[in-house]
Amino acid sequence: MSEEKSKRPRGTGSIYQPKHSRFFWVKYYRNGTVYREATHETDERKAQRFLQNRLGEITTGNFFGPAVERILVSELAEDMFREYRINGRKSLRLTQQRWQKHLKPVFGPLRAREVTTELVNKYVDCRKTEGAENATVNRELAALKRMYSLAYRSTPRKVYQIPSFPRLRENPPRKGFVEQKQYKQLCDACSRFWLRAMVGLSYNFGFRVAELLDMRVRQIDLLNRSLILDPGTTKNNEGRIVKLTSETLELVKQCMHSKTPDDFLFTRKDGKPIKDFRTAWESLTKAAKLPGLLFHDLRRSAVRNMVRRGVPEVVAMRISGHKTRSVFDRYNIVNESDLENAATSIERGAVRESGHTTGRVEQSEQGSPQSAEPHWPSKQ
């Protein structure tokens, strides 16, 4: 059937069948641009419905175009990974793992426009059935949403609408931290010197795990007793300088022994850099009789200790690398012992004002626990 034979009224497009094709094709216009595409139909009536659907999409503003419709979610994922590499995002590796393990098997083969809220909700239901935590599912959905956001803002657009993504309620942030007595238990039980040094730096200054593992010998300035984190090596990409305490200075000195400036600060006995120490940490917490303790609890404890020991909060934020006050406040946690100390202070103030003494205050004034002496394990 020729295109001329099946001409339709102006503005309603046309249906035709090329000589060497068994499928009907349609021709239509949008904003003066002509579109031709195969309907993949051999029945003219079905081709007619295809054309009517296209014209309806143009009328309602839901027309994407043949090229956009062919874009797969896997293509959006590659665009996102490229953007992460260009901007040096540290979450690239973890995001790629989430995509490969969970998102790609479900969404990868689909066209981008085929992803709907209903499909996303089915994915969430499936992941919950598998035992995934709400926080884990939220991070996966955040990656998928990021793909669509980038595609929507690209030129030309690769998607014309972004599905609605649910936000699951997450458990409150963990409130665990390490008291000075528990810190001493960890130090006494630690037989790996590199781990002892990491524990000391994290408990005193709140260094993140990634910051510790990436540290090089050249970042230690022994003359000025300083540890320098270069811009771009931290989570917020901002550099910072920390003045070392006597304890942490001795620890890093031992870690620097016989190393060149470009060597990693924390290495095993064979000189290989530490990349994963979860097994060593689990063994340490068991030996210290503190099972279930997270290494990140040391960072939370550092923030809390700095504030309670009189370090101005703005300085504590600079040392720990917290860029926003809201996140810093999540780490600056009030616990039961803080409330005990507050009650003691209130009673002590009442004593001074009234001249009376209570047993509670007398007991509290017998002395506070002394700071634990640092433990120095043999170098391993």
Q: Please give the CATH architecture assigned to the domain spanning 180-331.
A: Orthogonal Bundle (1.10)
Lowest mean pLDDT among 126-140, 166-180, 365-379: 365-379
| Maximum distance among all Cα pairs of the chain, rounded to whole angstroms | 109
* Residue showing tokens 């850099």: 273
- Return the CATH architecture of domain 73-153: Orthogonal Bundle (1.10)
Share of the chain above pLDDT 90, in %: 41
Q: How many residues appear in the chain?
A: 380
Find, among 176, 265, 267, the residue nearest to 222 by Cα: 265
* Under 8 Å between Cβ of 197 and 212: no
The 10s digit of each residue's pLDDT in 325-359 is: 554 555 555 555 555 666 676 677 667 776 654 44
CB 277, CB 195: distance < 8 Å: yes
What are the backbone dihedrals phi and psi of residue 126, each rounded to the nearest 5 degrees, phi first? -65, -45
Token pair in block for residue 193: 């010197």
pLDDT tops 50 at residue 285: yes
pLDDT, one tens digit per residue, over 83-131 is: 999 988 878 989 999 999 999 999 999 989 889 999 999 999 999 999 9
187-206: b (≥16 Cβ within 10 Å) or e: bebbebbbbbbbbbbbbbbb
